Amino acid sequence: MTSMLKKLSIAAGVCAALGVGVATFTALPAASAAGDKSMQTYRSDLPKLGPLPSLAGASTWLNSSPLDAAQVRGKVVLVDFWTYSCINCIRTLPHVRAWAQKYRDKGLVVIGVHTPEFDFEKDTGNISKAIARFKLDYPIAVDSDHHIWDAFHNNAWPVFYIADAQGQVRARIVGEGNYDKVEKAIQSLLAEAGKHNAMGALTAPQANDEQASPDIAHLGSGETYVGYAQASNFVARGGLKEDVAHDYVASTPGLNEWSFSGNWTVGAERASLNRAGGGIVYRFSARDLHLVLGPGAGGSPVRFQVTVDGGAPGENHGTDTDANGKGVVTETRLYQLVRQTGPVKEHTFEIRFLDPGVDAFAFTFG
């Protein structure tokens, strides 16, 4: 993965307008009679950044027939670049879902552009499962060949582009956590299009499990790739062996270091376990620990056992484990393995796989 393809966290996310800067918002005049000229002539302060780029080139569309810029002219359009195993994207989805539902009847069209980071995210079946799991009902363009990504000159996940009813992009907002800015931009452009009743209180959707906002104040660990193309902070005698089966002996990791145990083949974007009993150990400091995992080429479920500081996680287990640390990899996606319920502290996480064939891709935290 090139350095241009990067995920932006809430800490790194910024609100920008295609290099123009942060847009400002003018309050809409108070509601009045239908003939009030102040209501008819309201104009958003958001700058015009250019026409909405082409939506052509998707390999398929889900939840909708194919859409193009001409078809959505007359609507305010929110384009959300995301990919389904990206934790930063996952945490935005309760908000995107809420905006789609709240403003649909007021003239908003939400379009999710699913552009993959990993090869498994090109699989339409995997994407469809994610759409069902996250309860997304708005149109999704499956941009597996990056055609729409390239048309927008996009370079990160997640990124929101907001276009007005005349087909002009008026805001580009990067990263999770800028939800008020996104919604105020939506309201402003709907009001400019004559939907004055769109202005008002902002949404505050309920978000649980891996979709919950991160604990930024106590986030001391960052995204860590397992494949050798982007791997960092790996500790084991001899280092990573590229594209060959190798028996690893786990080292004791320091903070934000990790190691394998057992027989693994490490590829550019994934590591595959060749024999049962292998594992991964990681020293981390965060409320949540996630790991993107898949059952491997055969698709057979892979059982696993998680420990925290050598014992069962108990009440600190994640959504995808029980209190004893047991879980099963059944599909390729992000698995939440730890959620600390008390004060966030530094811990040693270990996962051991009771069956062979698992693929491991990346750790993320929250």
What the block records as the tokens of 17 is 């307008």
- What pLDDT is recorded for position 7? 58
- In tens, the pLDDT along 348-362 reads 999 999 999 999 999
- What pLDDT is recorded for position 19? 31
The CATH class that applies to domain 216-365 reads mainly beta
- What pLDDT is recorded for position 139? 98
Domain ranges of the chain: 6-211, 216-365
- What pLDDT is recorded for position 298? 82
- What pLDDT is recorded for position 8? 52
- What pLDDT is recorded for position 143? 98
- What pLDDT is recorded for position 41? 76
How far apart are alpha carbons 95 and 55 in whole angstroms?
23
- What pLDDT is recorded for position 297? 77
Q: Which CATH superfamily is domain 6-211 in?
A: Glutaredoxin (3.40.30.10)
In the chain (366 residues long), the average pLDDT of successive 10-residue segments reads 42 30 34 41 93 97 96 97 98 98 97 98 98 98 98 98 98 97 98 92 94 97 98 95 97 97 98 98 98 90 98 98 98 98 96 98 98
- What pLDDT is recorded for position 65? 97
What the block records as the tokens of 135 is 């309860």
- The pTM for the full model equals 0.90
